[in-house]
Amino acid sequence: NPLNLIRNFSIIAHIDHGKSTLADRLIQRTGGLTDREMTHGQMLDNMEIEQERGITIKAQTVRLKWKAADGQTYTLNLMDTPGHVDFAYEVSRSLAACEGALLVVDAAQGVEAQTLANVYQSIEYDHEIVPVINKIDLPAAEPEKVRHEIEDIIGLDASDAVLASAKSGIGIDEILQAIVDKVPAPKGDASAPLKAMLVDSWYDPYLGVVVLVRVMEGVLKKGQQIKFMQAGTTHLVDRVGCMTPKIEQLNDLGPGEIGFITAQIKEISEARVGDTITDAKRPAAAALPGFKEVQPVVFCGLFPTDAAEFEKLRDSLYKLRLNDASFSFEMETSAALGFGFRCGFLGLLHLEIIQERLTREYDLDLITTAPSVVYKMHLSHSKNEEAKTIELHNPADMPDPNRIESIEEPWIEATIYTPDEYLGGILKLCQDRRGIQKELTYVGGRAQLKYELPLNEVVFDFYDRLKSISKGYASFDYAQVGHREGDLVKMSILVNEEPVDALSMIVHRGTAEARGRGMCERLKDLIPRHLFKIPIQAAIGGKVIARETISAMRKDVTAKCYGGDATRKRKLLDKQKKGKAKMREYGSVSIPQEAFIAALRMG
Ligand code: GDP
Ligand code: MG
């Protein structure tokens, strides 16, 4: 393929602005699939959850053929990128594999937080950006207003933005022509040593580990011995191909081309996104820049509701990990919940997706413990140990408080867009969550807020709260800005005098009391009455900071004794105590499963 006939582009958009629908339309228009093969909408989103939630988790790439106005047939490689901040690194690798991007903006919604975040990333990669104003078929569409927003807020010339409706098929040819006209052709020397970027990898039950690559220089061939420069491993290429979106086998991929290879790789953890692939015998002098190992930032415990399902949970986690190297897990035991796993995620959405897949695809009933971020704990020396810094993923592993010199927690910078009328509520939410306001500006009739917030305060229900305060209109995006010292303490929850490890959490001292009170109040409603009185307490160290009591459901049996027979009265009370003892044997109080999650929601 001559380089001048190749165009590599991705589609960037805020969630729900129509990226997947447009991708389908482009595939359909260029004949990659017959109408009959487009059976279910959204060809690129092949996981069930993706379809239902309308989000794209794994980047996918399709090779399209398009005969442009000049009569030449172009190869257009469309990379679908994940639209959510949790997958920012995958987005960034996909963008690095392209020369241009279609910027899709909803004609009724206008520019949103993720539109901006994605566009800035795209600009960082020197992309040529082709603006598309989508959903012009909607009665509420205001394409001219949105055109001005793109110019005012993003600073992009939108005078020739394509007006489109991915749904009704309006503007599709214009979009394809604009890609050919505006996106630059890739560059690269076919005779140089091989240098290809590992854009993505996934596990396919038939093909094994499939690796998506973008060749920068040299040629990647079937039968070639290749080397992953970061991982240091070598592999024999046994398949080269591309997706149209059907799998098509090829002999090689040259500079500027995007396609996939298989190379008898056992686990996707060996094929890390961002690695550089080179020829084992004639390696490139240097790897491509910017490789980053992604690390989980949010952790929580997952426990089977039914202890007998532990093995099934483990098998399911292994299967999920086959396709998601960024997700981690290790065994954990909890006094309250038994055997389970401590799992690490890239963010909250990632957590929810995994949780949902386990429930839905693997039919598991799960208890999820409080999500926790990664704390850095600086410990002083003890009798047996030197002073050291540890990373804490689980509040249950909190070291001896006497040894803690200081604790650092991760912070983020959040960008929030909101219509004016919800601004007050959102400012209050950010303040309540220890936010530091950095910026408040007005763009296109909406407020743009920048806040620094401790990630700890965001992982619980910040996003839900933001959506409910703004009736769904505010949009949110964030980037991590490093660890900072904070006055943090471990808060334990005691039910019937016993700490419930699954409910313990690390909180800021200043908000501990309010948080503790809220937890106790909610647990009081969530735990059913028992035959005995149940105190619910929140405590820091040995000190109780909040308390509620669930009164006993006791039948007033002693009343029948007419106050007379003291021995009989005692006997009855003893009998009840035994009943209570038996309950305790089974783990004292039965806490309903939903209480673990519901208790964490803040008012
Ligand atoms: P994504 O999150 O950006 O991938 O968005 P989707 O492609 O999943 O689209 C989100 C929703 O908008 C879906 O319900 C689509 O059917 C709808 N949608 C997409 N494009 C259009 C359009 O041009 N017009 C209308 N009316 N709806 C659209
Ligand atoms: Mg989508």
pLDDT tens, 64-75? 999 999 999 999
| Span 366-395, pLDDT tens digits | 888 878 899 999 999 888 888 899 999 888
Sheet containing 6-13, strands listed edge to edge, beginning at the edge strand earlier in sequence: 60-67, 73-80, 6-13, 100-106, 128-134, 162-163
Question: Which of 10, 11, 16 best tests ligand 1's pocket when mutated (most atoms within 8 Å of CB)?
Answer: 16
In terms of C-beta distances under 8 Å and separation of at least 24 residues, what long-range contacts does 568-571 make, across chains too?
none
pLDDT at residue 57, as a whole number:
40
Looking at per-residue pLDDT, the higher value among 389 and 119 belongs to: 389
pLDDT > 70: percent of the chain: 86
Q: How far apart are CA 424 and CA 447, in angstroms?
A: 11
The overall pTM is greater than 0.90: no
Q: Distance from the CA of 425 to the center of ligand 1, in angstroms?
A: 29
Q: How many CA atoms lie within 13 A of 236 on its CB side?
A: 2
- Percentages (nearest 5) of helix, strand, coil residues in the chain: 30, 35, 35
- Decide: 321 and 314 in contact? Cβ < 8 Å: no
**Nearest ligand 1 atom to alpha carbon 14:** 3
pLDDT of residue 66: 94
**Of all protein residues, whose CA lies closest to atom 17 belonging to ligand 1?**
18
> What band does 221 get if pLDDT is binned at 50, 70 and 90?
very high
Residue with the larger pLDDT of the pair 287 and 114: 287
CA of 52 to the centre of ligand 1 (A): 13
- Pairwise CA distance, residues 505 & 396, whole Å: 8
CB 501, CB 336: distance < 8 Å: yes
Average pLDDT of the segment spanning 499-520:
88
Give me the residues near ligand 2 (ion), CB cutoff below 5 Å: 19-20, 56
Band the pLDDT of 583: cuts 50, 70, 90: very low
Per-residue pLDDT, 195: 97
pLDDT of the residue at 355: 87
Please determine, for residue 562, whether its predicted confidence score (pLDDT) is greater than 50. Answer: no
Residue list, ligand 1 pocket, CB within 6 Å: 13, 15-21, 54, 56, 83, 134-135, 137-138, 165-167
Q: Could you identify the atom of ligand 1 that is nearest to the CA of residue 13?
A: 3
Name the more confident of 601 and 354.
354
**pLDDT of residue 470 exceeding 50:** yes
Between 334 and 388, where is the model more confident? 388
pLDDT at 36: 55
Res 69: pLDDT: 95
Ligand 1 atom closest to the Cα of residue 24 is 7
With a cut of 50, say whether residue 55 has pLDDT above it.
no
CA torsion sign, 293 to 316 to 338 to 460? positive
Q: Is the pLDDT of residue 528 over 90?
A: no
Predicted local confidence at residue 154, as pLDDT: 84
Residues 33 and 27: their CA atoms lie apart, in Å, by: 7
Query: Average pLDDT for residues 459-468, to the nearest whole number?
Result: 81
> If we measure between CA atoms, which residue out of 179, 172, 182, 263 comes closest to residue 220?
263
In sequence order, which residues have a C-beta less than 8 Å from that of residue 493 and are 6 or more positions away? 499, 500, 503, 504, 516, 519, 520, 523, 536, 537, 538, 539, 599
Nearest residue to 260 (alpha-carbon basis) of 61, 501, 476? 61
- What is the predicted pLDDT for the residue at 565? 55
Query: Which pLDDT belongs to residue 37?
Result: 55
Highest mean pLDDT among 263-272, 469-478, 557-566: 263-272
User: Which tokens in the block code for residue 349?
Assistant: 């959405």
pLDDT of residue 581: 35
Q: How far apart are CA 434 and CA 428, in angstroms?
A: 10
pLDDT band at 580 (very low <50, low <70, confident <90, very high): very low
Centre of ligand 2 to C-alpha 121, Å, is: 18
- For 546, other C-beta atoms within 10 Å of its C-beta total 20
Helix and strand element counts for the chain (H, E): 14, 32
**pLDDT computed for residue 311 by the predictor:** 95
What pLDDT is attached to residue 43? Answer: 54
For ligand 1, atom 19, the nearest C-alpha belongs to 18
Q: Who wins on pLDDT, 561 or 276?
A: 276
> What's the CA-to-centroid distance between 532 and ligand 2, angstroms?
52
Atom of ligand 1 nearest to the CA of 138: 26
**How would you write 402-453 as a 3-class SS string?**
HHEEEEEEEEEEEEEEEEHHHHHHHHHHHHHCCCEEEEEEEECCEEEEEEEE
Q: Is 110 annotated as a binding residue?
A: no
CA distances from 36 to 40, 46, 51, 148 (A): 9, 17, 19, 39
Q: Lowest mean pLDDT: which of 101-105, 272-276, 431-435, 591-595?
A: 591-595
Substitution candidate for ligand 1 out of 15, 17, 21 with most atoms within 8 A of CB: 21
Cα(106) to centroid of ligand 2, in Å? 13
pLDDT-based confidence at 79, cuts 50/70/90? confident
> pLDDT-derived band of residue 52, with 50, 70 and 90 as boundaries?
low
d(CA 9, ligand 1 centre) in Å: 20
Ligand 1 center to 17 CA (angstroms)? 6
What is the average pLDDT value for the chain, to the nearest integer?
Answer: 85
Q: How far is CA 521 from CA 113, 461, 518, 524, 546, in A?
A: 35, 17, 5, 5, 9
- Ligand closest to Cα of 57 equals 2
- 136 labelled binding-site residue: yes
- Is the pLDDT assigned to residue 159 strictly greater than 50? yes
Q: 56 alpha carbon to ligand 1 midpoint, in Å? A: 13
Confidence band of 357 (pLDDT split at 50, 70, 90): confident
Pocket test for ligand 1, best of 167, 174, 475 (most atoms within 8 A of CB): 167
pLDDT > 90 fraction of the chain, expressed in percent and rounded:
46
Listed in sequence order, the residues at least 6 apart from 428 whose beta carbon sits closer than 8 Å to its beta carbon are none
pLDDT value for 537: 94
- Determine whether the annotation assigns residue 137 to a binding site: yes
pLDDT in tens, 15-44: 889 998 999 899 888 875 555 555 555 555
Q: What is the mean pLDDT of residues 78-94?
A: 73
Residue 51 clears pLDDT 60, i.e. is over it: no
134 is in an annotated binding site: yes
Inter-residue contact 264 to 239 (CB < 8 Å): no
Of 128 and 15, the structure prediction assigns the larger pLDDT to: 128
pLDDT of residue 35: 58
pLDDT of residue 82 exceeding 70 = no
Mean pLDDT of 492-511: 88
Nearest CA, atom 20, ligand 1: 18
Q: What is the pLDDT of residue 5?
A: 96
150 vs 51, which has greater pLDDT? Answer: 150
Q: Which ligand is nearest to the CA of 139?
A: 1
pLDDT digits (tens, 9 = 90+) for 170-216: 999 999 999 999 999 999 999 999 999 998 888 887 788 889 999 99
Q: What single DSSP character describes residue 131?
A: E
Measure 69 CA to ligand 1 centroid, in angstroms: 28
- What is the number of the ligand 1 atom nearest to the C-alpha of 21? 7
Among the bound ligands, name the one nearest to the CA of residue 56: 2
Q: Give the nearest ligand 1 atom to 165 CA.
A: 23
Q: Rounded distance, CA 579 to CA 595, Å?
A: 24
- Between 261 and 338, the more confident residue is 261
| pLDDT tier for residue 116 given thresholds of 50, 70 and 90 | confident
In the predicted model, what is the mean pLDDT of residues 258-275?
Answer: 89
pLDDT at position 182 is 97
Atom of ligand 1 nearest to the CA of 11: 3
Judge whether residue 586 has pLDDT over 50: no
